[in-house]
C-alpha cells in the first residue's frame, strides 16, 4: 500500500486510450465502499465518458480544469447536503478512494476542485457544472476526478522528503521521531 501511495501523483496528461470497462467497474465498486457519516451514503457519483461533456466540464473553470478534455474518463462527485452529516468529507473520502484505486489499476488521475470555485471568467464553477449536467441546485459539487492512462512521468513521493515535522507524539509539544 505504501508503494502504491508513493507512486500516486497528480497526472494531467493522458494517452488517447480508453479505460477498460472492467477497470471502470472496479473503480466504481471501490468508490461504493467509501465510509460516510452515519452511513448515509448520500453521494452521487457521476461517471463521464462522453467526449463533448468532458470538453464542456474541462471549460467549467478554465486553466485548472482544462486537462479534463484530454482524459478518457471523468467523475463528478455531487451530493445533496441534506443527505450527509458532513458532505465535503463524505465526497473527499470517495474522491481519494477513486484516485488510489485508479492508481492500483495502472491508471492516473487528478483532483479538480469545484466547491465554491470562481471560474476564470468570474462565473461559479458549481453552477457551470450543474448546468452542463442538468442537475438541480440542491446538488453541491465538491470536485471532479480525471482518470486515464498517464502520458507524463512524475517522480514518486520521496521518503527522504516526507514532512515528518507535521507529525507529533502525544500532543503538539513533541515531534514524532521516525524509526530508522
Ligand X SMILES: Cc1cc2nc3c(=O)[nH]c(=O)nc-3n(C[C@H](O)[C@H](O)[C@H](O)COP(=O)(O)O)c2cc1C
Between 167 and 169, CB nearer to ligand X: 167
* Smallest distance from ligand X to CB 94, Å: 13
* Smallest distance from ligand X to CB 171, Å: 27
Q: Does 112 bind ligand X (CB under 6 A)?
A: yes
Q: Does 64 bind ligand X (CB under 6 A)?
A: yes
Range list of β-strands (E), the chain = 44-48, 73-79, 108-113, 140-148, 168-169, 174-175
**For the chain, what is the largest distance between any 2 Cα atoms, rounded to a whole number of angstroms?**
54
* Smallest distance from ligand X to CB 22, Å: 25
The separation between the first and the last C-alpha atoms of the chain, rounded to the nearest angstrom, is 19
Q: How far apart are CA 9 and CA 109, in angstroms?
A: 8
Among 6, 9, 13, 15, binds ligand X (CB under 6 A): 9
Q: Which residues contact 155 (CB under 8 A, 6 or more apart)?
A: 9
Between 38 and 155, CB nearer to ligand X: 155
* Pairs from 162-167 (Cβ < 8 Å, separation ≥ 24): none
Which one-letter DSSP state was computed for residue 62?
Answer: S
* Smallest distance from ligand X to CB 140, Å: 15
**Contact characters 11-50, ligand X, x per CB under 6 A:** -x--------------------------------------
Q: How far apart are CA 19 and CA 159, in angstroms?
A: 31
Between 38 and 154, CB nearer to ligand X: 154
> Rule CB under 6 A: which residues touch ligand X?
9-10, 12, 64, 110-113
Amino acid at each position: 500500500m505504501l508503494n502504491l501511495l508513493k507512486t500516486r501523483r497528480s497526472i494531467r496528461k493522458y494517452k488517447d486510450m480508453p479505460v477498460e470497462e472492467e477497470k471502470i467497474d472496479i473503480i466504481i465498486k471501490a468508490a461504493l465502499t467509501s465510509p460516510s457519516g452515519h452511513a448515509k451514503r448520500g453521494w452521487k457519483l457521476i461517471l463521464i465518458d462522453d467526449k463533448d461533456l468532458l470538453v464542456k466540464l474541462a471549460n467549467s473553470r478554465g486553466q485548472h480544469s482544462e486537462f479534463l478534455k484530454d482524459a478518457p474518463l471523468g467523475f463528478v462527485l455531487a451530493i445533496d447536503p441534506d443527505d450527509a452529516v458532513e458532505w465535503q468529507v463524505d465526497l473527499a473520502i470517495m474522491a481519494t478512494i477513486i484516485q488510489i484505486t485508479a492508481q492500483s489499476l495502472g491508471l492516473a488521475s487528478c483532483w479538480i476542485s469545484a466547491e465554491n470555485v470562481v471560474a476564470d471568467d468570474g462565473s461559479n464553477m458549481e453552477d457551470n457544472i450543474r448546468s452542463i449536467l442538468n442537475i438541480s441546485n440542491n446538488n453541491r459539487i465538491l470536485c471532479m476526478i480525471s482518470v486515464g492512462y498517464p502520458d507524463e512521468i512524475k517522480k514518486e513521493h520521496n521518503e527522504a522528503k516526507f514532512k515528518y515535522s507535521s507529525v507529533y507524539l502525544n500532543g503538539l509539544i513533541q515531534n514524532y521521531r521516525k524509526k530508522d
